[in-house]
Structures are given as C-alpha cells and as structure tokens.
C-alpha cells in the first residue's frame, strides 16, 4: 500500500474502533475484494523474489464502502486505549460470535465494535441501531452450529 493508503486505513481503524493500527515494521498489501494483508518487511522482500506468489502475509482487514472491519488476526495489530469500541462477551456470546450468529451488545455510539472474551479478541462486528452485533467472521472460520 502507498503511504497515503496506509494512513487512510489507520484513520479508518481509529474512527471505527477507537484503536490505533500498529504499522511499524510491517508491509500492508491490498488484495482483491478490499482485503488487506500484513507481512514483515523481510517476508515481503522474499515474496517479491518468487514468481507466482498468490498470497503472502496475514489477512488483517477488509475495507468496505463506508467502514473497515478487522479479522481476528487483524485485532492483534491494534492498541486498545480505554476509549476503544470493545464489547465484553460472555462465554455463550463468544460462542455465538464465533459461529457468526448475531449477538445482543446493547446500543452503541458507533457502527463497528471489537469483540473480546476474557483476553481474547474475536474480530469485529457491525452493530445495528437496536444494539445487535453481526460478527464479520468468514464462513470458513466459523464454529459449527452445534458447538457449545
């Protein structure tokens, strides 16, 4: 990503989650469908040496039309100040979250939140006006419906 694109992504993370994106020592690469991957500078240099490298790094974010969402791994690339948009989840709600099911989080002053169960960050969700969070967990990462 160009410097201004990375700054825009950082600004979107700050605006959307009240969190700061850690970019020092990493290269962020835009891939298809608005997806953003992060890798170390050394891994980036190595990937550029090989022909046909399709993907490198960790999938950390998806830039959408009006906001950005972070993956579970993407949440590891942010610092969370006290004012960050984080919702604390119970075990039952965390399981729902990881199944991709809607979770009642109460009315929020922001459209997106980061879910946390104990010390584990579970990615992000879009919150509707009724306080229901819709976790943005990819289908291939979701827990099976019968998990408890």
pLDDT tens over the chain, length 148 residues: 999 999 999 999 999 999 999 999 999 999 989 999 999 999 999 888 888 877 889 999 999 988 999 999 999 999 998 888 999 999 999 999 999 999 999 998 889 999 999 999 999 999 999 999 999 998 999 999 887 7
The pair of three-digit structure tokens given for residue 82, joined into one six-digit string: 């006290």
Task: Give the pTM.
Answer: 0.88
Instruction: Report yes or no: 86 and 116 within 8 Å, Cβ to Cβ.
Output: yes
Instruction: Report yes or no: 137 and 121 within 8 Å, Cβ to Cβ.
Output: no
Instruction: Report yes or no: 54 and 2 within 8 Å, Cβ to Cβ.
Output: no
**CA atoms of 6 and 21, how far apart (whole Å):** 10
């Amino acid at each position: 990503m160009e410097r201004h694109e990375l700054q825009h992504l950082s600004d979107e993370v700050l605006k959307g989650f009240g969190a700061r994106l850690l970019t020092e020592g990493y290269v962020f690469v835009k891939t298809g469908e608005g997806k953003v991957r992060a890798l170390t500078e050394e891994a980036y240099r190595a990937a550029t040496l090989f022909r046909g490298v399709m993907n490198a790094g960790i999938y950390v974010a998806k830039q959408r039309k009006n906001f950005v969402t972070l993956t579970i791994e993407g949440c590891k690339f942010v610092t969370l100040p006290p004012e960050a948009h984080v919702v604390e989840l119970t075990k039952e709600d965390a399981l729902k979250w990881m199944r991709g099911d809607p979770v009642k989080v109460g009315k929020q002053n922001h459209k997106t939140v980061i879910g946390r169960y104990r010390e584990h960050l579970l990615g992000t969700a879009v919150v509707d006006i009724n306080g229901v969070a819709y976790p943005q967990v990819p289908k291939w990462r979701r827990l099976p419906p019968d998990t408890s």
